[in-house]
Protein backbone atom coordinates (compact mmCIF):
# COMPACT_ATOMS: atom_id res chain seq x y z
CA UNK A 1 0.00 0.00 0.00
CA UNK A 2 2.69 2.46 1.04
CA UNK A 3 4.95 1.49 -1.87
CA UNK A 4 2.10 1.94 -4.36
CA UNK A 5 1.33 5.38 -2.97
CA UNK A 6 5.02 6.32 -3.18
CA UNK A 7 5.23 5.23 -6.83
CA UNK A 8 2.03 7.12 -7.64
CA UNK A 9 3.39 10.26 -5.95
CA UNK A 10 6.63 10.04 -7.91
CA UNK A 11 4.75 9.65 -11.20
CA UNK A 12 2.53 12.63 -10.44
CA UNK A 13 5.60 14.71 -9.57
CA UNK A 14 7.33 13.73 -12.80
CA UNK A 15 4.23 14.51 -14.83
CA UNK A 16 3.98 17.98 -13.32
CA UNK A 17 7.65 18.91 -13.20
CA UNK A 18 9.33 17.41 -16.23
CA UNK A 19 9.03 19.05 -19.60
CA UNK A 20 9.98 16.08 -21.80
CA UNK A 21 8.18 12.73 -21.73
CA UNK A 22 8.42 11.35 -25.28
CA UNK A 23 11.28 9.24 -26.70
CA UNK A 24 11.66 11.40 -29.81
CA UNK A 25 12.14 14.50 -27.64
CA UNK A 26 14.92 12.74 -25.76
CA UNK A 27 16.53 11.70 -29.04
CA UNK A 28 16.36 15.28 -30.35
CA UNK A 29 18.02 16.58 -27.18
CA UNK A 30 20.82 14.01 -27.50
CA UNK A 31 21.45 14.97 -31.13
CA UNK A 32 21.32 18.71 -30.39
CA UNK A 33 23.64 18.46 -27.38
CA UNK A 34 26.11 16.24 -29.27
CA UNK A 35 26.19 18.66 -32.20
CA UNK A 36 26.48 21.63 -29.85
CA UNK A 37 29.30 19.93 -27.98
CA UNK A 38 31.18 19.17 -31.18
CA UNK A 39 30.86 22.69 -32.60
CA UNK A 40 31.39 24.31 -29.21
CA UNK A 41 34.67 22.47 -28.71
CA UNK A 42 35.73 23.00 -32.31
CA UNK A 43 35.10 26.76 -32.34
CA UNK A 44 35.73 27.43 -28.65
CA UNK A 45 32.24 28.78 -27.98
CA UNK A 46 30.98 26.25 -25.42
CA UNK A 47 27.88 24.97 -27.24
CA UNK A 48 25.36 26.95 -25.20
CA UNK A 49 24.51 29.13 -28.20
CA UNK A 50 22.88 26.01 -29.73
CA UNK A 51 21.51 24.31 -26.60
CA UNK A 52 19.93 27.53 -25.27
CA UNK A 53 17.64 28.17 -28.26
CA UNK A 54 16.61 24.50 -28.29
CA UNK A 55 15.52 24.72 -24.66
CA UNK A 56 13.74 28.02 -25.27
CA UNK A 57 11.62 26.33 -27.93
CA UNK A 58 10.51 23.89 -25.21
CA UNK A 59 8.88 26.80 -23.32
CA UNK A 60 11.11 26.60 -20.27
CA UNK A 61 11.40 29.66 -18.02
CA UNK A 62 14.44 31.89 -18.73
CA UNK A 63 16.21 30.83 -15.53
CA UNK A 64 15.60 27.17 -16.42
CA UNK A 65 16.95 27.67 -19.93
CA UNK A 66 20.10 29.39 -18.69
CA UNK A 67 20.83 26.96 -15.87
CA UNK A 68 20.04 23.77 -17.78
CA UNK A 69 22.03 24.95 -20.80
CA UNK A 70 25.01 25.60 -18.50
CA UNK A 71 25.06 21.89 -17.68
CA UNK A 72 25.83 21.31 -21.35
CA UNK A 73 28.44 24.08 -21.43
CA UNK A 74 30.13 22.67 -18.33
CA UNK A 75 30.11 19.10 -19.63
CA UNK A 76 31.44 20.22 -23.00
CA UNK A 77 34.19 22.34 -21.46
CA UNK A 78 35.27 19.49 -19.15
CA UNK A 79 35.47 17.12 -22.10
CA UNK A 80 37.29 19.57 -24.37
CA UNK A 81 39.68 20.68 -21.61
CA UNK A 82 40.69 17.08 -20.96
CA UNK A 83 41.31 16.50 -24.66
CA UNK A 84 43.19 19.77 -25.21
CA UNK A 85 45.30 19.28 -22.07
CA UNK A 86 46.52 16.00 -23.51
CA UNK A 87 47.53 17.92 -26.63
CA UNK A 88 49.30 20.51 -24.39
CA UNK A 89 47.53 23.41 -26.12
CA UNK A 90 46.10 25.28 -23.09
CA UNK A 91 47.61 28.54 -21.80
CA UNK A 92 46.71 28.05 -18.13
CA UNK A 93 48.19 31.38 -17.00
CA UNK A 94 46.00 33.38 -19.38
CA UNK A 95 42.99 31.19 -18.62
CA UNK A 96 43.22 31.73 -14.87
CA UNK A 97 43.58 35.52 -15.28
CA UNK A 98 40.46 35.71 -17.46
CA UNK A 99 38.54 33.38 -15.12
CA UNK A 100 39.19 35.56 -12.08
CA UNK A 101 37.14 38.32 -13.73
CA UNK A 102 34.53 36.04 -15.29
CA UNK A 103 33.56 34.31 -12.03
CA UNK A 104 31.96 37.36 -10.30
CA UNK A 105 30.03 38.06 -13.50
CA UNK A 106 28.79 34.46 -13.61
CA UNK A 107 27.34 34.77 -10.11
CA UNK A 108 25.60 38.06 -10.97
CA UNK A 109 24.17 36.63 -14.20
CA UNK A 110 22.61 33.67 -12.39
CA UNK A 111 20.78 35.96 -9.97
CA UNK A 112 19.60 38.36 -12.70
CA UNK A 113 18.09 35.48 -14.73
CA UNK A 114 15.33 35.19 -12.11
CA UNK A 115 13.94 38.60 -12.98
CA UNK A 116 13.82 38.54 -16.78
CA UNK A 117 10.59 37.67 -18.63
CA UNK A 118 10.44 35.15 -21.48
CA UNK A 119 9.80 37.80 -24.21
CA UNK A 120 12.73 39.87 -22.93
CA UNK A 121 14.88 36.75 -22.76
CA UNK A 122 14.04 35.83 -26.37
CA UNK A 123 14.72 39.37 -27.59
CA UNK A 124 18.15 39.70 -25.99
CA UNK A 125 19.03 36.12 -26.88
CA UNK A 126 18.14 36.90 -30.51
CA UNK A 127 20.56 39.83 -30.44
CA UNK A 128 23.29 37.54 -29.11
CA UNK A 129 22.62 34.97 -31.83
CA UNK A 130 22.69 37.62 -34.56
CA UNK A 131 25.94 39.04 -33.21
CA UNK A 132 27.45 35.55 -33.05
CA UNK A 133 26.31 34.85 -36.62
CA UNK A 134 27.94 38.01 -37.92
CA UNK A 135 31.14 37.12 -36.10
CA UNK A 136 31.03 33.61 -37.60
CA UNK A 137 30.73 34.98 -41.14
CA UNK A 138 33.66 37.35 -40.81
CA UNK A 139 36.90 36.16 -42.33
CA UNK A 140 39.74 36.03 -39.86
CA UNK A 141 42.23 38.32 -41.57
CA UNK A 142 44.11 39.15 -38.37
CA UNK A 143 47.60 37.76 -38.02
CA UNK A 144 48.75 36.22 -34.77
CA UNK A 145 50.72 38.70 -32.68
CA UNK A 146 54.14 37.87 -31.32
CA UNK A 147 54.45 41.00 -29.17
CA UNK A 148 53.16 41.28 -25.62
CA UNK A 149 49.75 43.06 -25.41
CA UNK A 150 49.70 46.49 -23.78
CA UNK A 151 48.22 47.13 -20.34
CA UNK A 152 45.28 48.95 -21.96
CA UNK A 153 44.48 45.90 -24.08
CA UNK A 154 44.64 43.63 -21.03
CA UNK A 155 42.29 45.93 -19.08
CA UNK A 156 39.79 45.69 -21.94
CA UNK A 157 40.21 41.92 -21.93
CA UNK A 158 39.53 41.65 -18.20
CA UNK A 159 36.49 43.95 -18.44
CA UNK A 160 35.18 41.83 -21.30
CA UNK A 161 35.73 38.71 -19.18
CA UNK A 162 33.50 40.12 -16.44
CA UNK A 163 30.78 40.93 -19.00
CA UNK A 164 31.16 37.47 -20.55
CA UNK A 165 30.61 35.90 -17.13
CA UNK A 166 27.32 37.77 -16.73
CA UNK A 167 26.24 36.79 -20.23
CA UNK A 168 27.18 33.16 -19.65
CA UNK A 169 24.99 32.66 -16.58
CA UNK A 170 22.17 34.95 -17.70
CA UNK A 171 21.61 33.18 -21.03
CA UNK A 172 23.45 29.87 -20.55
CA UNK A 173 25.68 30.45 -23.58
CA UNK A 174 29.00 29.95 -21.79
CA UNK A 175 30.46 33.34 -22.70
CA UNK A 176 32.47 32.09 -25.65
CA UNK A 177 30.66 34.54 -27.94
CA UNK A 178 32.49 37.31 -26.05
CA UNK A 179 35.74 35.56 -25.16
CA UNK A 180 36.55 34.39 -28.68
CA UNK A 181 36.34 37.84 -30.37
CA UNK A 182 38.41 39.29 -27.50
CA UNK A 183 41.13 36.66 -27.81
CA UNK A 184 41.21 36.86 -31.60
CA UNK A 185 40.67 40.62 -32.00
CA UNK A 186 42.50 42.09 -29.01
CA UNK A 187 45.15 39.48 -28.26
CA UNK A 188 45.75 38.54 -31.89
CA UNK A 189 45.32 34.79 -31.33
CA UNK A 190 44.00 32.46 -34.02
CA UNK A 191 40.78 30.48 -33.50
CA UNK A 192 42.75 27.23 -33.36
CA UNK A 193 45.18 28.54 -30.74
CA UNK A 194 42.57 30.32 -28.58
CA UNK A 195 39.90 27.56 -28.50
CA UNK A 196 41.79 25.29 -26.04
CA UNK A 197 42.42 28.09 -23.52
CA UNK A 198 38.87 29.34 -23.96
CA UNK A 199 37.48 25.92 -23.05
CA UNK A 200 39.50 26.04 -19.83
CA UNK A 201 38.03 29.47 -19.02
CA UNK A 202 34.51 28.21 -19.74
CA UNK A 203 35.13 25.25 -17.43
CA UNK A 204 35.80 27.54 -14.47
CA UNK A 205 33.16 30.20 -15.18
CA UNK A 206 30.42 27.70 -16.07
CA UNK A 207 30.80 25.65 -12.89
CA UNK A 208 30.51 28.79 -10.75
CA UNK A 209 27.44 29.98 -12.64
CA UNK A 210 25.98 26.48 -12.53
CA UNK A 211 26.43 26.12 -8.78
CA UNK A 212 24.75 29.49 -8.27
CA UNK A 213 21.80 28.40 -10.42
CA UNK A 214 21.56 25.10 -8.52
CA UNK A 215 21.51 26.95 -5.19
CA UNK A 216 18.62 29.03 -6.53
CA UNK A 217 16.73 25.89 -7.67
CA UNK A 218 16.64 26.77 -11.39
CA UNK A 219 17.73 23.69 -13.43
CA UNK A 220 15.57 20.92 -14.91
CA UNK A 221 17.73 17.94 -13.95
CA UNK A 222 16.26 15.36 -16.33
CA UNK A 223 16.95 17.52 -19.36
CA UNK A 224 20.34 18.42 -17.90
CA UNK A 225 21.29 14.74 -17.56
CA UNK A 226 20.50 14.12 -21.23
CA UNK A 227 22.40 17.20 -22.35
CA UNK A 228 25.49 16.38 -20.27
CA UNK A 229 26.06 13.05 -22.03
CA UNK A 230 25.67 14.43 -25.54
CA UNK A 231 27.77 17.54 -24.90
CA UNK A 232 30.60 15.53 -23.33
CA UNK A 233 30.80 13.12 -26.27
CA UNK A 234 30.65 16.02 -28.73
CA UNK A 235 33.44 17.82 -26.88
CA UNK A 236 35.77 14.86 -27.38
CA UNK A 237 35.00 14.70 -31.10
CA UNK A 238 35.40 18.46 -31.61
CA UNK A 239 38.82 18.54 -29.96
CA UNK A 240 39.95 15.51 -31.95
CA UNK A 241 39.06 16.96 -35.36
CA UNK A 242 39.86 20.61 -34.55
CA UNK A 243 43.09 20.66 -36.55
CA UNK A 244 41.73 18.89 -39.63
CA UNK A 245 38.20 20.19 -40.23
CA UNK A 246 37.44 23.00 -42.69
CA UNK A 247 36.44 25.66 -40.21
CA UNK A 248 35.03 28.12 -42.75
CA UNK A 249 32.27 25.77 -43.91
CA UNK A 250 31.22 25.07 -40.34
CA UNK A 251 31.10 28.79 -39.58
CA UNK A 252 28.76 29.45 -42.52
CA UNK A 253 26.40 26.59 -41.68
CA UNK A 254 26.34 27.55 -38.02
CA UNK A 255 25.67 31.22 -38.82
CA UNK A 256 22.69 30.25 -40.98
CA UNK A 257 21.25 28.14 -38.17
CA UNK A 258 21.72 30.87 -35.58
CA UNK A 259 20.11 33.47 -37.84
CA UNK A 260 17.14 31.13 -38.21
CA UNK A 261 16.80 30.71 -34.44
CA UNK A 262 17.03 34.48 -33.94
CA UNK A 263 14.32 35.04 -36.55
CA UNK A 264 12.09 32.52 -34.76
CA UNK A 265 12.56 34.32 -31.44
CA UNK A 266 11.73 37.70 -32.96
CA UNK A 267 8.71 36.20 -34.72
CA UNK A 268 7.44 34.79 -31.41
CA UNK A 269 7.73 38.21 -29.80
CA UNK A 270 5.90 40.01 -32.60
CA UNK A 271 3.08 37.45 -32.93
Domain boundaries, the chain: 17-270
User: Is the Cβ–Cβ distance between 201 and 95 less than 8 Å?
Assistant: yes
The tens digit of pLDDT for each residue in 44-62 reads 677 787 888 888 888 788 8
pLDDT mean across residues, the chain: 82
User: Is the Cβ–Cβ distance between 72 and 48 less than 8 Å?
Assistant: yes
**pTM (2 d.p.):** 0.79
The tens digit of pLDDT for each residue in 80-116 reads 899 889 989 999 999 999 999 999 999 999 999 888 8
258 in the Ramachandran plot: left (φ > 0), alpha (ψ -120 to 50) or beta?
alpha
**Which pLDDT does position 204 carry in this prediction?**
94
Amino acid sequence: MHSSFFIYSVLVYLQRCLVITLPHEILILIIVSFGAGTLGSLLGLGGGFIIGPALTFMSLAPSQVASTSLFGVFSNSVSATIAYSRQKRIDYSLGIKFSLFAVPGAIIGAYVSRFISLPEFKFYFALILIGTSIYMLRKNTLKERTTKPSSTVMILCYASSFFAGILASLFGVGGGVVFMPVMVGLLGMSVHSSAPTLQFILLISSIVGLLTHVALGHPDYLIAAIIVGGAFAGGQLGAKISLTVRERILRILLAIGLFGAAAKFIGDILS
